[in-house]
């Protein structure tokens, strides 16, 4: 990191410093992808990351011989990575092995029923038949609807700027046809009658911070994304993708600076001119891209600016996504029968989601996602051991939960539940442990209210109504990442960086 091209000549140094300078605040997937794209277009790029590791929500914790990916584990739409590598003149497949995960998920219900979720239509029909034979015919119709949603929401508009209201207006007829005014849960309920199948096909918005009972049915697109492009795991862990992106940035002659905490975006008139770090260093730039949470960018990084749209009042009233409690742990044995991705669902679905998203109440029951990367890549743990993380969706910090007190009892309750279900004897097997609560999301990643996925993907906070990729407040300020269009999740934030190709002027405009 912080490397420059090998032995630069005086001429190449001069050429480099004459290129317009782009500063990217934050090294999440969105920030790194933005850096690669701007680098490919001829900008000199400096990525500034406040943490001592790159990756943001996708950074990597290493301890006791275990490698724990902090966040994303489900990688889909590999073409988005192929494209970034190609832009840097390299071949993704030569450097990173993505392995297809099968099944995508094993979903364990409270009553002991198990659904094996795959991308294979015949196997899916067989799984559905186990629960409700009359629902089998609904699967193909649901996937057709999910495919149409994917075309509208991802393929046609995921990488298009929504800074003009006409873009959204043009979508309205298609959105109506697609019944986008209904929630995911409502649409899924119109296809499947069995309550557990309704859960199986509606939980996906939770992967991007949305409540299936509130978000638009357009988010059924996630089901099709997985079906069409598969669910993959990067060998070496998701961190291998972050490491690869950093090496692309550096290979373009640009840099990723860690421990570089931006205090404010400097402004002249209504133009971003660079950034000032907390240590007082000022870095001038021709354009600034913020990959920090969008609401944090506006509320905290532009302190002196009279904001026209993203005022404190509007930000305080905006709905943030849920928080996550994540327990990373290593065991001294392997649990060979546990799948790579397992959902361990509690007794309640809608009620639990209401507690999390609306009542902001930490419930006593939970539904869990268990990640066992060593099912695919044993190198992530010492020999004979397993690396895991388990995450529980919880309310963001409006809940008033004192995590300094609650975290350990909550972790113990989760451990006991896993021990009683999919990981027998767990308490005696744990040899490495670390937790992350919404509090750390706030203090380390500067996530507003400790929310794990930025603004909740409600229709009132989507597209034109979400903070734009081309800032509404300042010239030469651009936003990427979960809190801007199109939204959270790795495909979403990589797509937000694609929007820069449209909204950032050609490099010659800055010379
Ligand atoms: C536990 C978990 C599991 C997930 N699982 C999946 C999954 O399986 N698949 C999937 O597709 N998605 C998943 N997601 C969602 C996905 O990880 C995120 O939406 C995505 O990684 C966010 O990327 P981003 O570009 O918005 O940047 P972030 O990861 O949010 O990074 C922003 C960076 O900006 C830095 N920053 C902020 N302010 C400043 C400042 N002032 N100065 C300098 N730096 C600053 C932060 O430190 C951070 O590093 C998961 C998320 C979590 C939390």
Q: What is the pLDDT along the chain (511 residues), one digit of tens a residue?
A: 443 334 556 666 666 678 999 999 999 999 999 999 999 999 999 999 999 999 999 999 999 999 999 999 999 999 999 999 999 999 999 999 999 999 999 999 999 999 999 999 999 999 999 999 999 999 999 999 999 999 998 998 888 898 888 888 888 888 888 888 999 999 999 999 999 999 999 999 999 999 999 999 999 999 999 999 999 999 999 999 999 999 999 999 999 999 999 999 999 999 999 999 999 999 999 999 999 999 999 999 998 898 999 999 999 999 999 999 999 999 999 999 999 999 999 999 999 999 999 999 999 999 999 999 999 999 999 999 999 999 999 999 999 999 999 999 999 999 999 999 999 999 999 999 999 999 999 999 999 999 999 999 999 999 999 999 999 999 999 999 999 999 999 999 999 999 999 999 999 999 8
Q: Is the CB of 74 under 6 A from ligand 1?
A: yes
Q: pTM for this one?
A: 0.96
Probe residue for ligand 1, chosen from 26, 49, 237, 296 as the CB with the greatest number of ligand atoms within 8 Å: 26
> Which residue is closest in CA terms to ligand 1's atom 4?
72
Cβ distance 484 to 468 under 8 Å?
yes
Cβ distance 473 to 308 under 8 Å?
yes
Q: Is the CB of 72 under 6 A from ligand 1?
A: yes
How many other β-carbons are positioned within 10 Å of the β-carbon of residue 250?
A: 20
Enter the DSSP assignment of 467. Answer: P
**Tokens of residue 10, six digits:** 């005086």
Q: Is the CB of 488 under 6 A from ligand 1?
A: yes
Q: d(Cα 39, Cα 42) in Å, to the nearest integer?
A: 5
Those residues whose C-beta lies under 8 Å from the C-beta of residue 269, and which sit 6 or more positions away, are none
Taking the CA atoms of 262, 267, 270 and 273 in sequence, report the sign of the dihedral they define: negative
Q: d(Cα 75, Cα 132) in Å, to the nearest integer?
A: 30
Q: Is the CB of 292 under 6 A from ligand 1?
A: yes
> Which residue is closest in CA terms to ligand 1's atom 27?
28
Q: d(Cα 252, Cα 59) in Å, to the nearest integer?
A: 22
Q: Is the CB of 262 under 6 A from ligand 1?
A: yes
**Tokens of residue 89, six digits:** 């003149």
Cβ distance 356 to 322 under 8 Å?
yes
β-bridge partners, 330: 387, 432
Token look-up 């590999």 returns: 78
Q: Going from the N-terminus, what domains does the chain have, and what CATH number goes with each? A: 10-98+235-317+455-510 (3.50.50.60), 123-230 (no CATH), 322-445 (3.30.519)
Chain center to CA of 268: 33
Torsion of CA 134, 137, 143, 146, to 10 degrees: -60
Beta strands 430-436 and 323-331 are antiparallel
Q: What are phi and psi of 472, to 5 degrees?
A: -80, -15
Cβ distance 369 to 391 under 8 Å?
yes
Cβ distance 330 to 64 under 8 Å?
yes
* HEC profile of 52-87: CCCCHHHCEEEECCEEEECCCCCECCCHHHHHHHHH
Q: Is the CB of 283 under 6 A from ligand 1?
A: no
Cβ distance 216 to 181 under 8 Å?
yes
**Percent over 70 (pLDDT), the chain:** 97
pLDDT at position 10, please?
A: 63
How many other β-carbons are positioned within 10 Å of the β-carbon of residue 491?
A: 24
Query: 405 exposed, middle or buried (CB, 10 Å; 0-12, 13-18, 19+)?
Result: exposed
Chain center to CA of 358: 22
**479: CA distance to ligand 1 center in Å?**
14
Burial 113-148 (b: 16+ CB within 10 A, else e): eebbbbbeeeebeebbeebeeebbebbeebbebbbb
**Tokens of residue 339, six digits:** 């799948």
Q: d(Cα 15, Cα 457) in Å, to the nearest integer?
A: 43
**509: CA distance to ligand 1 center in Å?**
31
**13: CA distance to ligand 1 center in Å?**
33
β-bridge partners, 69: 60
**55: CA distance to ligand 1 center in Å?**
7
Ligand 1, residue 453: give the atom nearest the CA. 19
Q: Is the CB of 26 under 6 A from ligand 1?
A: yes
How many other β-carbons are positioned within 10 Å of the β-carbon of residue 420?
A: 10
- The interaxial angle of helices 239-251 and 79-87, nearest 10 deg, is 20
Ligand 1, residue 490: give the atom nearest the CA. 11
> Which residue is closest in CA terms to ligand 1's atom 45?
26
**Tokens of residue 354, six digits:** 């209401």
Enter the DSSP assignment of 415. Answer: H
In three-state secondary structure terms, 276 is strand
């Amino acid at each position: 990191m912080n490397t420059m091209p090998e032995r630069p000549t005086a001429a190449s140094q001069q050429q480099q410093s004459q290129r317009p300078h782009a500063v990217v605040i934050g090294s999440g997937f969105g920030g790194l992808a933005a850096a690669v794209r701007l680098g490919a277009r001829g900008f000199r790029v400096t990525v500034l990351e406040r943490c001592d590791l790159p990756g943001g929500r996708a950074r990597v914790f290493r301890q006791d011989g275990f490698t724990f990916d902090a966040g994303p584990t489900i990688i889909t739409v590999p073409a988005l990575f192929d494209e970034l590598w190609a832009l840097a003149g390299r071949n993704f497949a030569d450097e990173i092995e993505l392995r297809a995960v099968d099944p995508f998920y094993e979903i364990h219900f409270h009553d002991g029923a198990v659904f094996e979720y795959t991308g294979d239509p015949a196997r899916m029909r067989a799984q559905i038949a186990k629960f409700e034979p009359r629902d089998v015919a609904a699967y193909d119709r649901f996937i057709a609807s999910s495919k149409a949603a994917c075309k509208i929401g991802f393929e046609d508009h995921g990488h298009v700027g929504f800074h003009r209201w006409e873009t959204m207006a043009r979508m309205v007829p298609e959105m109506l046809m697609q019944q986008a005014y209904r929630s995911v849960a409502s649409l899924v309920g119109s296809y499947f009658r069995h309550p557990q199948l309704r859960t199986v096909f509606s939980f996906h918005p939770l992967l991007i911070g949305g409540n299936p009972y509130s978000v638009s049915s357009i988010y059924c697109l996630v089901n099709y994304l997985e079906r069409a492009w598969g669910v993959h795991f990067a060998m070496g862990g998701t961190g291998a993708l972050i490491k690869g992106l950093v090496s692309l940035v550096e290979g373009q002659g640009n840099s990723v600076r860690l421990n570089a905490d931006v205090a404010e975006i400097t402004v002249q008139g209504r133009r971003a001119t660079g950034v000032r770090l907390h240590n007082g260093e000022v870095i001038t730039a021709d354009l600034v891209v913020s990959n920090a949470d969008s609401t944090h960018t506006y509320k905290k990084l532009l302190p002196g600016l009279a904001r026209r749209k993203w005022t404190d009042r509007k930000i305080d009233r905006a709905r943030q996504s849920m928080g996550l409690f994540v327990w990373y742990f290593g065991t001294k044995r392997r649990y060979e029968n546990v799948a790579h991705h397992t959902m361990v669902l509690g007794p309640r679905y809608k009620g639990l989601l209401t507690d999390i998203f609306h009542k902001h109440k930490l419930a006593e029951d939970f539904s869990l996602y268990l990640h066992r990367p060593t099912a695919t890549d044993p190198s992530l743990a010492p020999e004979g051991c397993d690396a895991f993380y388990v995450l529980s969706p919880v309310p963001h910090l409006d809940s008033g939960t004192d995590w300094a007190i609650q975290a350990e009892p909550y972790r113990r309750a989760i451990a006991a539940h896993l021990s009683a279900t999919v990981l027998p004897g767990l308490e005696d097997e744990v040899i490495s442990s670390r937790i992350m609560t919404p509090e750390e999301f706030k203090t380390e990643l500067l996530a507003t209210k400790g929310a794990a996925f930025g603004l909740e993907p409600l229709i009132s906070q989507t597209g034109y109504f979400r903070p734009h990729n081309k800032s509404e407040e300042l010239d030469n300020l651009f936003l990427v990442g979960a809190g801007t269009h199109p939204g959270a999740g790795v495909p979403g934030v990589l797509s937000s960086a694609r929007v820069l190709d449209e909204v950032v002027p050609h490099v010659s405009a800055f010379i």
